[in-house]
Amino acid sequence: MKFKSMFWLSYFRTQEESLHNRLSGVMESSPRFCARCRNHGLLEELKGHKRHCTYRDCSCDDCELTRLRQLVMAKQVALRRQQKEDELHAAKKRRKLEGTISDCQLLSWNMFIIVVIIINYNT
């Protein structure tokens, strides 16, 4: 129970600071805590903690669930980045194709003008 009350106190303090910052125009990110330590009742700030986490290799049910959630999120991020890269590549290819079509249209228009000039010259 001590953990939950400590968590909620931290949460409300963070929310109060966030509200104050929003009202004063200061944009600040809220602190993030290690999910595995939180599973075991500790509130460890995430920054600089990854290599020193006591529960990094823990295999309890909660930590396994956290590990799976982190893997799913990592795959989602990788997929989103790949899709964005594919979209940029497709847009670049489309622009190149549009440029080629414009060049062909311009070439055919120039050929048409030349044919008209030759016809008018011969008549």
Is there a domain that residue 11 lies in? no
DSSP secondary structure letters along the chain: -HHHHHHHHHHHHHHHHHHHHHHHT---PPP-B-HHHHHTT---BSTTTGGG-TTTT--SHHHHHHHHHHHHHHHHHHHHHHHHHHHHHHHHHHHHHHHHHHHHHHHHHHHHHHHHHHHHHH-
Is there a domain that residue 12 lies in? no
Is there a domain that residue 89 lies in? yes
* pLDDT tens profile 29-80: 788 899 999 999 999 898 888 889 999 999 999 999 999 999 999 999 999 9
Residue 1: pLDDT band (50, 70, 90) is very low
pLDDT at 28: 65
Is there a domain that residue 90 lies in? yes
- pTM given for the model: 0.52
* pLDDT tens profile 89-108: 888 877 776 666 555 566 66
> Could you give the number of structural domains in the chain?
1
Is there a domain that residue 66 lies in? yes
**Domain of 61?**
56-122
